[in-house]
């Protein structure tokens, strides 16, 4: 596995890879876990070569968020990527991605404006800007993202379509622990007690999904799900909603392709999750 840190090294390495087949990109912020390895496995099924990037993107962290303490484990990440048969790992520096005088932001209207967009102003501008730069630098045939960050996936799909970027965006279903908690790098912040109580989030979504599919009123079902989280000592529920899976607009009754989405805070850790309907 090659590890490159500059744009020149990346360009040279990609020329060699493309001579022998297709390229899939798996963008990450490091602190890898089994969910990332599933993305890499799916990439290997679809392309001849897998390129992973590790970049903790400062633009997607708001004031008071956890950029400084975001988990970093570069050496272990390299070991995991090598074992997963990644051909190339790109680790750009912040000053390379955002050079001095950087003044351009990619903003995706509509799909980015509710939910995470309201709870974390500017977050998706940072995500879209960084992902656009990664895609333009690597120019992969496809890019692989997890569905756990479902709104992020929708934003990236909209951006790629709007900018006519020649890349296929592939979403991979959320990978979970055996007890149902969605894998996340931020799970490392949870104490043992918080980790146990965090299970209320996927369980509340499961109960709500089953109720809605069975014909229960959407508003009452969502209110009950929020109550379940409050009773499990979640300090704050930013949102818990039934939405159209393509536009992310809220639904007050079942219609078409849907997602239940939620974001809630337990202790000092903010967790997100979603389920398809």
d(CA 159, CA 141): 16
Record: fold of 185-276: 3.30.1300
Spatial CB neighbours of 168, under 8 Å, sequence gap ≥ 6: 141, 142, 143
d(CA 267, CA 115): 20
Residue 66 has what pLDDT? 73
- The pLDDT profile of the chain, 277 residues, written as one tens digit per residue, is 999 999 999 999 999 999 999 999 999 999 899 999 999 999 999 999 999 999 999 999 887 777 777 888 999 999 999 999 999 999 999 999 999 999 999 999 999 999 999 999 999 999 999 999 999 999 999 999 999 999 999 999 999 999 999 999 999 999 999 999 999 988 988 999 999 999 999 999 999 999 999 999 999 999 999 999 999 999 999 999 999 999 999 999 999 999 999 999 999 999 999 999 9
Catalytic residue, chosen from 33, 36, 96, 246, is 36
Residue 44 has what pLDDT? 97
Residue 53 has what pLDDT? 97
d(CA 208, CA 227): 12
Q: 36 catalytic, yes or no? A: yes
Say what the pTM is: 0.94
Percentages helix, strand, coil for the chain (3-state, rounded to 5) are 40, 20, 40
d(CA 109, CA 162): 11
d(CA 197, CA 199): 5
Residue 126 has what pLDDT? 95
Domain extents for the chain?
A: 2-172, 185-276
DSSP 85: T
d(CA 98, CA 77): 23
**Dihedrals phi, psi of 32, to nearest 5 degrees:** -70, 150
**Two structure tokens written together for 9:** 């090294």
Q: Tell me if the domain spanning 2-172 has CATH number 3.30.450.70.
A: no
């Amino acid at each position: 596995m090659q590890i490159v840190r500059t744009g020149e090294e990346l360009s040279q390495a990609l020329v060699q890879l493309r001579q022998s087949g297709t390229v899939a990109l798996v963008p990450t912020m490091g602190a890898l876990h089994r969910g990332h390895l599933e993305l890499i496995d799916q990439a290997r099924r679809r392309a001849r070569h897998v390129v992973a990037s590790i970049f903790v993107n400062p633009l997607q962290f708001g004031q008071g968020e956890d950029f400084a303490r975001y988990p970093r484990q570069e050496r272990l990440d390299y070991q995991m990527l090598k074992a997963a048969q990644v051909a190339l790992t790109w680790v750009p520096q912040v000053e390379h991605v955002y050079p001095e005088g950087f003044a351009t932001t990619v903003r995706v209207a509509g799909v980015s404006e509710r939910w995470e967009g309201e709870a974390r102003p500017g977050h998706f501008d940072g995500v879209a800007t960084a992902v656009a730069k990664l895609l333009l630098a690597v120019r992969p045939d496809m890019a692989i993202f997890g569905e756990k960050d479902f709104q992020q996936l929708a934003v990236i799909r909209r951006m790629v379509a709007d900018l006519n970027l020649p890349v296929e965006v592939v979403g991979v279903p959320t990978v979970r622990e055996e007890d149902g908690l969605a894998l996340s790098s931020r799970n490392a912040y949870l104490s043992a007690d918080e980790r146990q109580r965090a299970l209320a989030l996927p369980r509340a979504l499961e109960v709500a999904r089953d109720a809605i599919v069975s014909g229960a009123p959407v508003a009452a079902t969502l209110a009950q799900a929020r109550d379940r989280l409050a009773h499990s000592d979640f300090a704050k529920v930013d949102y818990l909603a039934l939405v159209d899976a393509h536009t992310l607009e809220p639904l007050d009754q079942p219609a078409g392709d849907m997602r239940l989405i939620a974001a809630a805070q337990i202790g000092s850790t903010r967790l997100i999750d979603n389920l398809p309907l």
